[in-house]
């Protein structure tokens, strides 16, 4: 890291190293350890940050905050904006929380997808064809000899 890069880093992220991105922080700290001008740059940036912070630290008086909150409390609160669903449906239906049900919804979706895949793969038709073939062959010789006795009815 160069001195100019350190200056850019300080201008973008401030003079506190904990606010610097980790990758750049390591390089900046190496530069700071090795370079006196870099340390001078950081010291001046810290002084600048402290001065700005001091100038901006004015707090509103509690009385001013109380006045603001009092003015807010004097009027009734306006109606909240709710969606059409929330206005016409019970709250529990208008604000559904699906999070606990996601595993079951996913399982149902998987089963549905499997059903569609089986339907498209022609497996069912082949099974039906085979069963029909078996039935036909059984119908062709309904009076086969008994496998044990060899007798026909």
Partner 1 sequence: MEGLSDQELMARIAAGDAAAFRILSRRHAPRALAVARRILGSSAAADDVVQDALLRVWIHAPRWRPAAEPRTWLYRIVVNLCLDEKRRPRAAPLEAAGDVADPGADAAANLEARERDHLLAAAVAALPPRQRAAIVLTYQEGLANAEAAAVLDTSVGGVETLLVRARRALRAALGGDD
Residues engaged in binding partner 1 (CB under 8 A): 7-8, 11-14, 19, 41, 44, 48-49, 51-60, 62, 64-65, 67-69, 71-73, 77-83, 86, 91
CB of 27 to partner 1, least distance (A): 17
User: What are the structure tokens assigned to 7, written together?
Assistant: 């200056």
Whether 32 contacts 38, CB under 8 Å? yes
Q: What is the DSSP string of 37-105?
A: HHHHHHHHHHHHHHHHHHHT-PPPPHHHHHHHHHHHHHSPPPPP---HHHHHS-HHHHS---GGGHHHH
Residue 87 or residue 152: which is nearer to partner 1 going by CB?
Answer: 87
Nearest approach in angstroms of CB 81 to partner 1 is 5
C-beta of 2 vs 122, nearer to partner 1: 2
CB of 46: closest distance to partner 1 in angstroms? 12
Residue number, 53 or 152, with CB nearest to partner 1:
53
65: exposed, middle or buried (C-beta count within 10 Å: 0-12, 13-18, 19+)? exposed
CB of 52 to partner 1, least distance (A): 5
């Amino acid at each position: 890291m160069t001195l100019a890069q350190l200056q850019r880093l300080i201008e973008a992220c401030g003079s506190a190293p904990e606010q610097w991105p980790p990758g750049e922080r390591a390089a900046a700290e190496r530069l700071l350890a090795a370079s006196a001008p870099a340390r001078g740059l950081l010291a001046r940036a810290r002084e600048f940050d402290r001065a700005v912070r001091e100038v901006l630290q004015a707090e509103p008086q509690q009385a001013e905050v109380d006045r603001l909150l009092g003015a807010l409390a004097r009027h009734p609160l306006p109606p909240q904006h709710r969606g059409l669903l929330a206005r016409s449906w019970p709250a529990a239906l208008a604000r559904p929380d699906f999070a606990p049900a996601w595993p079951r919804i996913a399982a149902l979706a998987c089963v549905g997808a499997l059903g569609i895949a089986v339907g498209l793969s022609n497996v069912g038709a082949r099974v039906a064809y085979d069963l029909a073939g078996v039935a036909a062959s059984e119908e062709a010789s309904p009076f086969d000899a008994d496998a044990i006795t060899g007798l026909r009815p």
